[in-house]
Chain A
Amino acid sequence: MIEDLLEDIAQKNGIRQVNTYLKVATGTGAILLCLLSTSYIAPLFIAALLTFAILFLARVGAKTYAGLFIHPVWFALVNVAGIVLVYGGSTPFWSWDPFPWFSLSVTRESINQGFFVFSRIVGGMSAVCFIALTTPMTDLFIVMRRCRVPDVVVDLAMIIYRTIFILMNQVIQIYQAQVMRLGYSSWRESVHSFASLCGAAFIASWESGEDLIRAMEARCYDGKFALLGENRPVEKMPCLAVGIFLVLSTAVVIVSGNITII
């Protein structure tokens, strides 16, 4: 249900009315800066600013935001642990030789590298969250078309976006009907129920696909899909804020240079 949740939050967030291009520029700018930075400081700085914006400007609940963040962070930690142990280096920081033929060592370089990757992930995640939580998908379609993404792709994306909720609703209904009749009471039963759920969902989506074609034909489909353009003005304050954010972040990227954690 997270997709539904994300969309609902994005539809109602505090900066919904800010021009879409500004928001997308903020998000993509932040991602680029995180990638360009050679120090861990800039990504963390960006993450802090964007988190502030998400929590206090977009007024997204801290719990929701943390819930969104926690899974990628776990994933990142596992990966970073791997990097720290595997990444080579010349100045050992800590080492352990449990067997004569096997040793584990952590070097200064590997710790620096691991922390740097981790901060990049956090920075990038906060930028993606910023876009996802403040810009509904429907607004992103406008940007996609403006950026010359092929019409076929945008139209398809729009139809998929529309039907995904219908399909999800159907799946939830079928699932609930199965649960109510104890469809998931044992492991065997669960496998069986899940299989029939998939089958039913497939048939349902096939049928709605055919209905979609009929509905489009009934309304004279001729290969065109309307799109409501962006009409929210680029206001001074948000524009200024985005400008300051990007300039400040760039400055931090430059100033922080190659600073490492140890």
Chain B
Amino acid sequence: MSSIILEARDVRYRYPRGMEAICGISFHIRKKEKIALVGPNGAGKSTLLKMFNGMIRPDSGLMLFADQPLGYDTISLRMLRKRVGFVLQNPDRQIIAPTVYQDVAFGPTNLGYSETEVKEAVTTALRHVGLEGFERRPPHQLSGGEKKRVAIAGVLAMDPDVLVLDEPTSGLDPSGSEDIMELLDELNHEGKTIIISTHNVELAYPWADRAMLMLEGKILEEDIPEVAFGNPEYVRRAHLSLPTLLELYRELQKRGFHLEGKKPHTVLDMMQCIETIFENTLGHIQPGMITVCNVDQDNRECLSGWLSRRQGISVGAMGTRAKQHAEISQIRLDFTYGVIDKCILKALLGEDTLIMTTESMVQRVNQRVDAYCRESGIRITVNQLISAPESANEENGSLK
């Protein structure tokens, strides 16, 4: 790998009158790397990104660019911002000028380029993002994706070494998001270091060279995506979801399939895995049982008693009320989205699970499991947890 371009040494930052947004972060980013900062809202991703081009000065610790500590005087900042371009989350906030040309030309003009140089920089930048012929268009007539591209072009025109993008795909449709990620890939191939922040695990997983999982102003995990997203405990704590491919891969592994090589990054990788698997055959396991707990019934004590007798059982919650209920009862949730499907997956592995949900959704669980059973020919039992005396806690066994 090539040399280090950005580095942080134990940086800390506290917003005025606020809580600590960055609590002692250290890392380094090498040249030509693609980095994804991933974490929930309020994890400090945007704050950290703003430190890269000196928009925020850390309270303590050191930020280095090309092995030199950042200077915060006007001249150093100008030099830094020329080399580290920043694209804001909301393009409407970034686009300043009344036409596309003027906006893209904003940086180069202020860097003192001559008129021909400005024109050349703008043309190159617009060609890069695929917006040739948009020069005279006013930004408010552009679509969300086009605005994003204008914002990126505005930064590209200054020819920075590092591109920092805050949520580059927020507010874009799936194909627009894919386009932007492809563009970032292309720019990376041309030698630019790219750092993005995102919630979108599916996009970040195949794209990034390295992923940093952030939570509450700290880096939870920093590694190649397979490893960073591969730890379900961290992923759960960071309020993220496992990338679908990785989840599928793990499920296959749990079923005893021996998967060779690296973990799949793309659907193609996955297909390869599956193709190798089909040389083997599926083993038969007795499916586990799914228990549904209706949180609208007063069954808190019964539930905690039931759970204490089944240590290590996976628990999922569907709906806000069920999640609140779990929080109050201090029940650790393993699944918070796609709960029924995940419980079915567990059941197929022979493990029992509990779904906490509201009255109206109980039926939905039965329907979904029934439908699955009908399709697959596998028998999964769904029970309802009721507050009646212990002995009868399994009633209403609806099953195939």
Inter-chain contacts of A166 with B (CB < 8 A): 92, 140
- Which of A7, A208, A220, A226 has its CB near the most chain B CB atoms (within 10 A)? A226
Complex Cα distance, B99 from A159, in Å, reads 11
Does chain A have a CB within 8 A of B227?
no
Chain B residues whose CB sits within 8 angstroms of the CB of A56 once the complex forms: none
The reply to whether A228 and B138 contact each other, CB–CB distance below 8 Å, is no
How many A-B contacts at CB < 8 Å in the complex?
98
Residue from A137, A217, A223, A225 within 8 A of B102 (CB atoms): A225
**Are the C-beta atoms of B93 and A215 separated by less than 8 Å?**
yes
* Stretch of B62-70, B81-89, B188-196, B217-225 at the chain-chain interface: B81-89
B136 touches A138 (CB 8 A): yes
B107 within 8 A of A: yes
Residue of chain B at shortest CB distance from A166? B92
Q: A92 to B47: give the CA distance in the assembly, Å.
A: 80
Choice from B92, B96, B111, B155 contacting A216 with Cβ under 8 Å: B96
Check B99 against A228 for contact (C-beta < 8 Å).
yes
* Interface bits A203-241 vs B (CB < 8 Å: 1, else 0): 000001001101111111111111110000000000000
Which residues from A are CB-within-8-Å of B94? 215
Would you call A212 and B93 a contact (CB within 8 A)?
yes
* Contact B98 A137, beta carbon cutoff 8 Å: yes
Contact B107 A219 (CB under 8 A): yes
* B118 sits at the interface (CB 8 A): yes
B147 to chain A, nearest CB (A): 11
Name the distance in Å between A217's Cβ and chain B's nearest Cβ: 7
Q: Are A219 and B110 in contact (CB under 8 A)?
A: yes
Asked if B141 and A219 sit within 8 Å, CB to CB, the answer is no
A222 partner, pick from B96, B102, B110, beta carbons under 8 A:
B110
Q: Is the Cβ of B140 less than 8 Å from the Cβ of A165?
A: yes
Q: Is A242 an interface residue (CB 8 A)?
A: no
Residue pair A222, B112 in contact (C-beta under 8 Å): yes
Total chain A interface residues with beta-carbon distance under 8 A: 34
A162 at the interface (CB under 8 A from B): yes
Among the interface residues A136, A161, A162, A219, which one has the most CB atoms of the partner chain B within 10 A?
Answer: A219
Whether, in the assembled complex, A128 has its beta carbon less than 8 Å from a beta carbon of chain B, the answer is no
Q: Closest CB-CB distance, A152 to chain B, in whole Å?
A: 16
Within 8 A of A (CB), among B120-148: 135-141
A6 to B102, CA, bound (A): 21
- Is residue A11 within 8 Å, beta carbon to beta carbon, of the partner chain? yes
B118 touches A162 (CB 8 A): no
Kindly state the separation between the CA atoms of A156 and B230 in the bound complex, as whole angstroms: 51
Residue ranges of B at the interface with A (Cβ–Cβ < 8 Å): 53, 55, 78, 81-82, 86, 88, 90, 92-99, 101-102, 105-112, 118, 135-141, 154-155, 158
| Chain A residues in the interface with B (C-beta under 8 A) | 4, 7-8, 11, 136-139, 141, 158-159, 161-162, 165-166, 169, 208, 211-212, 214-228
